[in-house]
Amino acid sequence: MYVGDFESSVAREASHRGMDGVVCGHIHKAELRPIGAILYCNTGDWVESCTALGERADGSLVLLTFAEKGHPVAAPPRSAGARLVTNLR
């Protein structure tokens, strides 16, 4: 319940401040999804889940996970509202 409350709270605050999105870390739950009109991004962590956020040259964000072969790959989209890149090649 705490993580869900945190996500909602930061999205609401970002909306009040006129932002398009928010990037968070420390909570080890990688996310890239809309909460209302706000794009909520959480880096996850590189130790337990081996996740990170990346930004492409066009400004789109991608949630990276470390593949078995040791190469970063994009995670599947969690929502149609988030601009995700699903092929890094």
Q: pLDDT, tens digit, for every residue of 19-65? A: 999 998 877 788 899 999 999 999 988 888 888 888 888 888 888 88
Asked, for residue 42, whether it belongs to a domain, the answer is: yes
Q: Give the domain extent around 30.
A: 2-74
**pLDDT over 50 (residue 86):** no
Asked, for residue 44, whether it belongs to a domain, the answer is: yes
Return d(Cα 55, Cα 53) in angstroms, integer: 7
**pLDDT over 60 (residue 81):** no
Asked, for residue 36, whether it belongs to a domain, the answer is: yes
List the 72-74 sheet strands across, edge first.
Answer: 51-55, 61-66, 72-74
- pTM beyond 0.85, yes or no: no
Q: How many domains in the chain? A: 1
- The residue among 52 and 66 whose pLDDT is bigger is 52
Asked, for residue 86, whether it belongs to a domain, the answer is: no
